[in-house]
Amino acid sequence: MAEKYRETARVITQEAIGNGIYSMWLQTTDIGKAARPGQFISVYSKDRSRMLPRPISICETEPEGAVRIVYRVAGKGTEEFSRLGSGDTLEILGPLGNGFPLERMAEGKKTFLIGGGIGIPPMVELAKRLPGEKQIVVGYRDARLFLKEDLEKNGSVYVATENGSYGTAGNVLDCIRENNLEADVIYACGPTPMLRALKAYAQEKGIECWLSLEEKMACGIGACLACVCQSKEVDDHSRVHNKRVCKEGPVFLSTEIEL
């Protein structure tokens, strides 16, 4: 089992980068050095009435231990985090979950890195670390293209917007088809309808496909069974056709799960 750490992290910087979307750099001792693309951290509120932490995916790390999270304000917990500035502190636990399997990538393979909405942030660190030719396909609601410039540093970026205000009008699959893109492996994170469509696309094309699920979590460490998804095989922990997104995931081979 991978090591996880509970730390008091210091906020280095924080800024708004979209409509209700914030980018925060945290200085950590161990978490940033241990994290892999696709993992997440649990962030604890200072308001003790909110006992459960908020799971937030890791967007980026730096060798000296800094961790970047990019999140959308969705409730009182994340609204509290958005008010923090340089020098403030946060209690965090991580790195948690299983990330994307970088070691499976063979030389010469072409990959799709596909992110939708708040599933885009994990693609930043993945693009930095993944070898080979990377085609990064991202889907937004509109032309507020947060993290696009960060992604362009490590791959070719293709954009789809729901309202057609930038790039391809439609979704990420529309973008792939419009640009005649092809790949050997898919790595994706985003809302369930997008992942369901990508799973079907990968099956049709015979492409290996890894999906990072967005799921509401409670404990974040696999104890409470609040974030299960349906699996092909019987889970060793629960003895039913379930997998814990926070523990066995959030990244799964598409053929192992039902969406």
SS (H, E, C) 175-204: HHHHCCCCCCEEEEEECHHHHHHHHHHHHH
200-258 pLDDT tens trace: 999 999 999 999 987 554 444 444 445 444 555 555 555 544 555 555 658 999 998 88
| pLDDT score of 227 | 47
- Give, in order, the Cα–Cα distances in Å from 74 to each of 33, 79, 165, 241: 28, 7, 24, 30
Specify whether the CB–CB gap between 161 and 139 falls below 8 A: yes
| pLDDT score of 167 | 98
Q: How far apart are CA 224 and CA 244, in angstroms?
A: 9
| pLDDT score of 257 | 85
Domain 102-214, second-level architecture: 3-Layer(aba) Sandwich (3.40)
**SS3 of 129, please?**
helix
Q: How far apart are CA 130 and CA 69, in angstroms?
A: 19
Q: Looking at residue 250, what DSSP letter applies?
A: B
pTM beyond cutoff 0.85: yes
pLDDT < 70: residue spans in the chain:
1-2, 104-107, 215-249
ω into residue 95 within 30 of 0, thus cis? yes
Q: Which two tokens stand for residue 190?
A: 């985003």
Q: Which two tokens stand for residue 68?
A: 């970047």
| pLDDT score of 154 | 96
Domains of the chain by residue range: 5-96, 102-214, 215-259
Q: Which two tokens stand for residue 41?
A: 């951290």
Where would I find the H helices in 46-147?
76-82, 122-129
Specify whether the CB–CB gap between 139 and 117 falls below 8 A: yes
What fold does the segment set 5-96 form as a domain?
Answer: Elongation Factor Tu (Ef-tu); domain 3 (2.40.30)
Cα torsion 168, 173, 178, 181: sign:
positive
Same fold, 5-96 and 215-259: no
| CA–CA–CA angle 227, 71, 53 (5° rounding) | 45
Domain 215-259, CATH: 2.10.240.10
